[in-house]
């Protein structure tokens, strides 16, 4: 232990309450961090993790409560003050200037130099020293754009360390990493611990939480449930306390349907030479009644695969069959007419019209339907649309103040349920679901998985694309791995060879 | 939620109007006149008697058309700033037909109106085609086309259809002029404008195509992914909005101006844009806003004659209304304001 003993408290947040109007985002939260520990904040979306960290980082002022740093009561009024107190934060979405080099990003906003010139060599030496100490290898003269996600994250951590942080907040740091990159991150966290630095780790992936944490504080509905030491409780128990009710372990029965083929790609290529945004000689089949999971790190051609299978782009080489007839025209409407449903990657950009109401979004594709209009769309039946929306609200458990509410004001989970309702009510033959549970909490995730499985059992062929490996393992009947636009291998969803798949995801 | 949203759309313009008038009154007082008197004459001049009402509605009519033109295009996310050019093209086409056609009267009027609409639509389609198939910026192209249209009109009234030695076109024959409306100075062009507004309203909010068009305007990517023919809607919104302006130009020529002359339609296009924004792109609200602005313009002359307050005070008030409304609309979208509003709403409950 270089600095302080493991029991030294570096940070304590006492009775923190943050109210927005009459709503409590945080209520009487107690939270402390010791030197050299990884302390996990565990909670569903909306449990108050981000609010608490924003209070710590000086972005919000707490309504009540005090913050102590190394025993001293402090008032943190701005992020720069937080930095001065030794608190660093790596946001989920990196705050890097992409056109600048690693070095420039690290010294950006640093206030140490008094003069107008920067002593580059001395600075570089300092940074290299840090990077050696913590195993954060980074090429200082590389522009950020050329770095992989994992490397960008290391730059963020370096940046925080360079500014002298003792407490590092990592907000969902593994969301965009491969398993191997995540391993690398965990090693770095270990080094930080050894050097007496503390890490506040925010995540809801139970596997890694159990793996890296020393202590875990569970937040629920803005309040601290409890703080536990690692090893005291099982992962299952943690999950139950996090959501506040018993969650039965999900054991989906895997199907091995070899029913009719609903969609088939035959040696399809699209922007072949692009490693991250292309498809290279992809062949696959989706049968009725099965879920084909596409595993892989984000940005290996999955987006293009989804767009192709929904008619948004046309292949440059190869052919596609939809229900045993060759597709000649790639346009989204034609695919919709062929009963292809699509849960798009970006639910705000491509899934919903945010400024339209929940009801309007539910009938987005079907306003010409007899149920919702007379004379092929000449007169909309507003009452029928409303009552249909109310029915869907009930059936899909969409939580909104009214079906007239603008869909952009809904939480991510509820937005996804609106899309799910619209896409599944069409009783699709093929469902292309892209990151359907990204950013959702456990409850909403479970609901979406259940619904998709139900659709499978009704004979729909599902292509599930997800960067969440656990999700792929949980629901897929067949697993394909994508890397740099290619299919690296095919595995059964029953007892899948996890190590082998992980390697394939990294291109090995 | 919805109630609050709509509430803001009505309250913001109303408050802006009140504030603008208060500032206008201060300016009037500073000029040494009695604000109450000035306001009275402003009202009298615009709505005081049937004659003045007629004048107001007559002035409002072309503004309604250009406002509807902007409303429709913006609903689809198309920034058509070429209302003026499309309006002028409609008038040029109508002028040719009215003065050259072998027939006059009702058939000529109908033909002028239809051809004027077609002309305006085609003029807008130039920008539409360039936007949809070549990705060119429609704002720049439509503004440029305004100049082209204005200059083309110049050629028409100084050369091709010149009336003797005066730089203006020959007048529309008496039989082809529009009848007045209820004996007012306003012509049947006014009810046609109102009907156009109602039709647009119905189309946008009660038909599937209107629904899809709005969806394209609000989120083009989602519209495309959900299978809408985005290009078709974009092109359609250019053509229809241009046709509305063109129809307005044709009827303005046949009803009020009777000949093309320097300054015809000057400023109508951008007036329409501002009014459409104040009306939150709602066609029916657009009609009301256009009448309101026309009233300010018509009434200001009476105000000037009776109290000596210059008409420019009315211009100031109009400009302030636009500034305050646009700023107010932006303000209610701020998160701080929303939070404050949400807190207030909760307290009430």
Q: Which of A25, A334, A342, A353 best tests the B interface by mutation, with the highest count of B CBs <10 A?
A: A353
Per-residue pLDDT, A501: 87
3-state secondary structure A42-97: ECCCCCCHHHHHHHHCCCCCCCEEEEEECCEEECCCCHHHHHHCCEEEECCCCCCC
Return all residues near B164 (Cβ < 8 A) that are at least 6 apart: none
Q: What is the pLDDT of residue B336?
A: 72
Q: Domains in chain A, please, with CATH?
A: 9-243 (3.40.50.300), 250-339+428-508 (3.40.50.300), 348-426 (no CATH)
How far is Cα of residue A190 from the mean position of the Cα atoms in its chain?
24
Contact check, Cβ <8 Å, B1/A402: yes
Contact assignment for A336 to B207 by CB distance below 8 Å: no
**B219 vs A contacts (CB less than 8 Å):** 349, 352-355
Average pLDDT of chain A to the nearest whole number: 87
Q: Please say if the pLDDT value at position A165 is more than 50.
A: yes
Q: How far is CA A312 from CA A31, A315, A334, B96, B345, in A?
A: 48, 10, 10, 47, 43
Confidence at residue A174, expressed as pLDDT on a 0 to 100 scale:
82
A242-290 per-position pLDDT tens digit = 877 665 656 788 887 678 999 999 999 999 887 778 899 999 999 999 9
Say what the pLDDT of residue B9 is.
81
Among A243-252, A353-362, B198-207, B283-292, the minimum mean pLDDT is found in A243-252
Q: Is B338 on the interface with A (CB under 8 A)?
A: no
Give residue-wise pLDDT tens across range A413-425. Answer: 889 999 999 999 9
Q: Which residues of chain B from 211 to 270 reach within 8 Å of chain A, CB to CB?
A: 211-212, 214-215, 218-219, 221-229
Q: Do B1 and A401 touch (CB under 8 A)?
A: yes
Q: Is the pLDDT of residue A5 over 60?
A: no
Helix (H, G, I), strand (E, B) or coil at A23: strand
Chain A interface disruption, residue of B202, B227, B231, B336, most A CBs within 10 A: B227
**Domain B12-26+36-348: assigned CATH number:** 1.10.3470
Q: Distance (Å, rounded) from C-alpha B329 to C-alpha B317?
A: 18
Q: What is the pLDDT of residues A282-300, one digit of tens each?
A: 999 999 999 999 998 877 8
Predicted local distance difference test score (pLDDT) of residue A300 = 85
State the best of A312, A332, A433 to mutate against chain B, taking most chain B CBs within 10 Å: A332
If you average pLDDT over residues B98-120, what whole number do you get? 94
Whether residue A22 and residue B229 make contact (CB cut-off 8 A), yes or no, is no
Contact B343 A351 (CB under 8 A): no
The overall average pLDDT reported for chain B is 92
Q: Per-residue pLDDT tens for A309-348?
A: 999 999 999 999 999 899 999 999 999 999 999 999 888 8
Q: Tokens in use for A460? A: 């729909």
Q: Any CB–CB contact under 8 A between B7 and chain A?
A: no
Residue A126 has pLDDT above 50, yes or no: yes
Report the residue from B211, B219, B224 with minimal CB separation from A367: B211
Residues of A with Cβ-Cβ distance to B6 under 8 angstroms: none
Which residue in chain B has the smallest CA separation from A22?
A: B343
* pLDDT of A51 strictly over 70: yes
- Whether residue B346 lies within 8 A of chain A, CB to CB, comes out as yes
- Does B1 have pLDDT greater than 60? no
Which of the listed ranges A15-19, A142-146, B334-338 does the model predict with the highest average pLDDT? A15-19
A chain contacts of residue B222, beta-carbon cutoff 8 Å: 349-353, 364
Nearest CA in chain A to B349: A22
Q: What percent of chain A has pLDDT over 70?
A: 95
A303-327 in b/e form (b: 16+ CB < 10 A) is bbbbbbbbbbbebeebebebbeeeb
Compute CA distances A372 → A105, A282, A361, whole Å: 54, 40, 13
Rounded to 5°, angle at Cα A336 from A333 and A340: 145
A406–B contact, CB cutoff 8 A: yes
The mean per-residue pLDDT over the stretch B119-130 comes to: 97
Confidence band of A4 (pLDDT split at 50, 70, 90)? very low
Residue in B closest to A383 by C-alpha: B206
Indicate the length of chain B as a whole number: 349
- Return the percentage of chain B with pLDDT > 90, whole number: 82
DSSP 8-state symbol, B178: P
The pLDDT tens digits for B160-197 are 988 888 899 999 999 989 988 777 788 999 999 999 99
Residue B290: which pLDDT band, with cuts at 50, 70 and 90? very high
Q: Once rounded to an integer, what is the mean pLDDT over residues A482-500? A: 89
Least confident of A188-192, A397-401, A421-425: A397-401
**Chain A residues touching residue B204 (CB < 8 angstroms):** none
* Residue A384 at interface with chain B, using a CB cutoff of 8 Å: no
Token pair listed for A143? 């522009």
| CB–CB contacts below 8 A, A to B | 87
Hey, which residues does A64 pair with through a beta bridge? A17
- Any CB–CB contact under 8 A between A374 and chain B? no
Cβ of B225 and A333 within 8 Å? no
User: Per the structure block, which two tokens stand in for B274?
Assistant: 């501002």
Compute how many other C-beta atoms are within 10 angstroms of the C-beta atom of residue B173. Answer: 14
Which of the pair, A145 or B22, is modelled with greater confidence? B22
Can you say how many angstroms the Cα of residue A491 is from the centroid of all Cα atoms in its chain? Answer: 24
Contact state of B214 with A356 under an 8 Å Cβ cutoff: yes
Q: Sort out which chain A residues have CB atoms less than 8 A from B225's CB and list them.
A: 310, 312, 332, 342, 344, 350-351
Over residues B5-23, the mean pLDDT reads 87
Q: DSSP labels for A464-491?
A: EE-S-HHHHHHH-SEEEEEETTEEEEEE
In sequence order, the 6+-apart residues with CB closer than 8 A to the CB of A430 are A262, A263, A286, A309, A322, A339, A340, A341, A460, A461, A462, A463
Segment A202-229 mean pLDDT:
86
CB contact under 8 A, A332 and B225: yes
Which residues of A177-316 form beta strands (DSSP E)?
198-202, 215-220, 223-229, 261-270, 279-287, 291-295
- Do residues B156 and B99 make contact, with C-beta atoms less than 8 angstroms apart? no
**CA closest to B338 among chain A residues:** A21
**pLDDT band at residue A1 under the 50/70/90 scheme:** very low
Under a CB-based contact definition with an 8 Å cutoff, are residues B273 and B83 in contact? yes
Work out the minimum CA distance from B339 to partner chain A, whole angstroms. 8
Cβ contact (<8 Å) for B224 and A312?
yes
- Range from A148-152, A191-195, B40-44 that averages highest in pLDDT: B40-44
Hey, is the C-beta of B56 within 8 angstroms of any chain A C-beta?
no
Interface confidence (ipTM) of the complex: 0.86
- Residue A6: pLDDT band by 50, 70, 90 thresholds? low
Average pLDDT of the residues in A199-219: 87
Q: Does the pLDDT of residue B202 top 50, yes or no? A: yes
Q: Given a cut of 50, is residue A454 above it in pLDDT? A: yes
pTM of the complete model beyond 0.95: no
Q: Which one of B6, B207, B229 would you mutate to disrupt binding with A, by most A Cβ within 10 Å of its Cβ?
A: B207
Residue B77 is given by DSSP the state T
What is the model's pLDDT at position A505?
Answer: 83
Is the CB of B1 less than 8 angstroms away from the CB of A21? no
The proportion of chain A whose per-residue pLDDT surpasses 90, expressed as a percent, equals: 43
């Amino acid at each position: 232990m270089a600095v302080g003993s493991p029991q030294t408290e570096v940070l304590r947040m006492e009775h923190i309450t943050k109210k927005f109007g009459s709503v409590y985002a945080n209520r009487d939260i107690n939270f402390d961090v010791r030197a050299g520990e990884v302390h996990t904040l565990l909670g569903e979306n909306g449990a108050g993790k981000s609010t608490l960290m924003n209070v710590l980082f000086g972005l919000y002022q707490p309504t009540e409560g005090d913050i102590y740093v190394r025993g001293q009561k402090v008032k943190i009024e701005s992020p720069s003050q937080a930095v001065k107190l030794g608190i660093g934060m790596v946001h989920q979405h990196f705050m890097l200037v992409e056109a600048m080099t690693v070095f420039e990003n690290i010294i950006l906003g640093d206030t140490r130099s008094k003069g107008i010139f920067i002593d580059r060599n001395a600075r570089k030496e300092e940074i290299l020293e840090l990077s050696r100490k913590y195993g954060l290898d980074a090429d200082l003269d590389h522009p950020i754009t050329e770095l992989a996600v994992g490397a960008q994250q290391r730059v963020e951590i370096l940046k925080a360390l360079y500014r002298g942080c003792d407490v590092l907040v990592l907000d969902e740091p593994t969301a965009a990493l491969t398993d191997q990159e995540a391993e690398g991150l965990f090693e770095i966290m270990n080094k930080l611990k050894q050097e007496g630095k503390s890490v506040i780790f925010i995540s809801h992936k139970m596997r890694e939480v159990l793996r890296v944490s020393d202590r875990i504080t569970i937040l629920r509905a803005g309040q601290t449930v409890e703080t536990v030491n690692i090893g005291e409780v099982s992962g299952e128990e943690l999950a139950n306390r996090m959501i506040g009710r018993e969650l039965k372990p999900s054991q989906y029965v895997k199907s091995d349907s070899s029913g009719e083929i609903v969609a088939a790609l035959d040696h399809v290529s699209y922007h072949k030479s692009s490693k991250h945004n292309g498809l290279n000689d992809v062949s696959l089949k989706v049968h009725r009644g099965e879920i084909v999971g596409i595993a892989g790190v984000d940005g290996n051609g999955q987006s293009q695969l989804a767009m192709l299978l929904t008619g948004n782009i046309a292949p440059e080489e190869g052919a596609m069959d939809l229900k045993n007839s060759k597709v000649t025209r790639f346009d989204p409407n034609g695919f919709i007419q062929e009963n292809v449903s699509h849960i798009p990657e970006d639910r705000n950009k491509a899934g919903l019209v945010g400024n339209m109401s929940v009801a309007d979004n539910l009938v987005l594709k079907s306003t010409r339907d007899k149920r919702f209009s007379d004379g092929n769309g000449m007169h909309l039946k507003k009452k029928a649309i409303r009552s249909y929306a109310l029915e869907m609200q009930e059936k899909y458990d969409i939580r909104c103040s009214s079906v007239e509410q603008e869909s952009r004001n809904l939480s991510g989970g509820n937005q996804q349920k609106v899309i799910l309702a619209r896409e599944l009510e069409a009783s699709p033959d093929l469902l292309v679901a892209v990151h359907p549970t990204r950013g959702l909490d456990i409850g909403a995730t479970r609901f979406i998985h259940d619904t998709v499985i139900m659709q499978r059992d009704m004979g729909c062929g599902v292509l599930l694309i997800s960067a969440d490996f656990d999700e792929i393992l949980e629901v897929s009947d067949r697993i394909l791995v994508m890397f740099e636009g290619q299919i690296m291998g095919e595995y059964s969803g029953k007892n899948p060879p996890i190590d082998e798949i992980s390697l394939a995801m990294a291109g090995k | 939620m919805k109630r609050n949203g709509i509430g803001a759309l009505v309250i913001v313009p109303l408050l802006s109007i009140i504030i603008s008038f208060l500032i206008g009154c201060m300016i009037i007082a500073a000029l040494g006149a009695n604000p109450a008197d000035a306001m009275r004459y402003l009202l009298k001049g615009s709505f005081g008697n049937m004659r003045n009402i007629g004048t107001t509605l007559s002035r409002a009519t072309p503004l309604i058309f250009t406002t509807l033109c902007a409303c429709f295009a913006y609903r689809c996310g198309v920034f058509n700033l070429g209302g003026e050019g499309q309006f002028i093209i409609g008038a040029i086409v109508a002028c040719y037909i009215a003065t050259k056609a072998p027939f006059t009267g009702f058939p000529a009027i109908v033909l002028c109106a239809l051809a004027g609409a077609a002309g305006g639509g085609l003029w807008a389609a130039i920008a539409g085609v360039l936007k949809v198939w070549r990705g060119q910026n429609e704002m720049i192209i439509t503004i440029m086309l305004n100049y082209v249209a204005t200059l083309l009109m110049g050629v028409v009234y100084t050369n091709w259809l010149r009336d003797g030695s005066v730089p203006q076109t020959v007048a529309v024959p008496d039989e082809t002029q529009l009848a007045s409306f209820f004996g007012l100075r306003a012509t049947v062009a006014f009810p046609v404008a109102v009907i156009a507004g109602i039709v647009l309203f119905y189309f946008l909010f009660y038909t599937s195509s209107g629904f899809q068009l709005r969806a394209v305007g609000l989120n083009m990517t989602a519209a495309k992914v959900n299978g809408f023919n985005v290009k078709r809607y974009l092109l359609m919104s250019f053509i229809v909005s241009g046709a509305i302006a063109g129809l307005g130009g044709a009827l303005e020529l046949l009803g009020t101006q009777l000949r093309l002359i320097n300054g015809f339609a000057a400023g109508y296009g951008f007036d329409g844009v501002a009014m459409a924004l104040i009306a939150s792109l709602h066609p029916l609200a657009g009609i009301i806003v256009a009448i309101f602005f026309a009233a300010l313009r018509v009434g200001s002359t009476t105000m000037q004659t009776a109290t000596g307050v210059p008409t420019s005070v009315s211009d100031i008030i109009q400009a302030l209304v636009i500034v305050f409304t646009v700023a107010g609309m932006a303000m209610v979208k701020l998160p701080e304001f929303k939070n404050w509003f949400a807190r207030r709403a909760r307290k009430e409950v």
